[in-house]
Amino acid sequence: MASPIVRPMAFAKEGPMKLVPCRLFALVAAFSLSGCATLFHGREQMVLVDTVTVKGAVCRGVDKEGRKYAWANTPVQAEVIKGDGPIAITCEAPGYKKTDYSLDGTVAGATFLNVVTLGLGALVDAASGASQPYPDVVKILMEPVDGAPEAAQAAYLKAKKEHEEAIRKAKADEEKQIREAAGR
């Protein structure tokens, strides 16, 4: 007597639905092994550097992997690789002090979709860097050198005051959102 052939459930059914469980499993497996931030946003990103107090500055950056970036004649965009930050940026312009800035990454919103994949996608996103984007726009204040014209000094002080006020407002808004979320 011949032994019976044991087939997986997906192949045991007849008709057009016979491969649905296998296809569904393959789709879920593929989705689970991909990162949401990687799929939606990729690994590269354009970052605009704007030296608020002077136009036409030259800024150079280097990430922790040693990759070099350049923003010449600000405001201008450059493509950077996400997840290899912070990027140490140095800006220079005639009549202004050399200015250093640390560009830190944030957390991509699509990273939170990895809950659907039981966290496996988070590993992909972390490895690719896609879950750690940089701000799209970076505003850098450059201070005029000592003895610079009074107009340049006044423009710098005004921009510095506006920048500090924007930071205070953003911090207050963030604290308000945290309080509201905790109160729910």
Task: Identify whether the C-beta of residue 115 lies closer than 8 Å to the C-beta of residue 35.
Answer: no
**Gap between the Cα atoms of 120 and 113, Å rounded:** 11
Q: Is 82 helix (H, G, I), strand (E, B) or coil?
A: coil
Print pLDDT tens along the chain (184 aa): 555 554 444 444 455 555 555 555 555 555 544 444 444 557 899 999 999 999 999 999 999 999 999 999 999 999 999 887 799 999 999 999 999 999 997 654 444 444 555 555 545 544 544 458 899 999 999 999 999 999 999 999 999 999 899 989 989 998 998 888 888 6
CA angle, 100 as apex, 139 and 59 as ends, to 5°? 65
Token pair listed for 119: 């966290």
pTM given for the model:
0.63
Token pair listed for 89: 């940026």
Residue at 150: amino acid letter: E
Is the N-terminal amide bond of 4 cis, ω within 30° of 0?
no
Query: What pLDDT, on the 0 to 100 scale, is given for residue 34?
Result: 46
Query: What pLDDT, on the 0 to 100 scale, is given for residue 38?
Result: 45
**Gap between the Cα atoms of 125 and 110, Å rounded:** 10
Strand partners, 90: 60, 100
Task: Identify whether the C-beta of residue 140 lies closer than 8 Å to the C-beta of residue 109.
Answer: no
Task: Identify whether the C-beta of residue 78 lies closer than 8 Å to the C-beta of residue 49.
Answer: yes
Give how far Cα 29 sits from Cα of 39, 52, 117, 148, 163, Å: 15, 48, 9, 62, 47
Task: Identify whether the C-beta of residue 62 lies closer than 8 Å to the C-beta of residue 69.
Answer: yes
C-alpha 15 chain-centroid distance: 47
Rounded to the nearest 5°, which phi and psi values hold at 46?
-90, 130
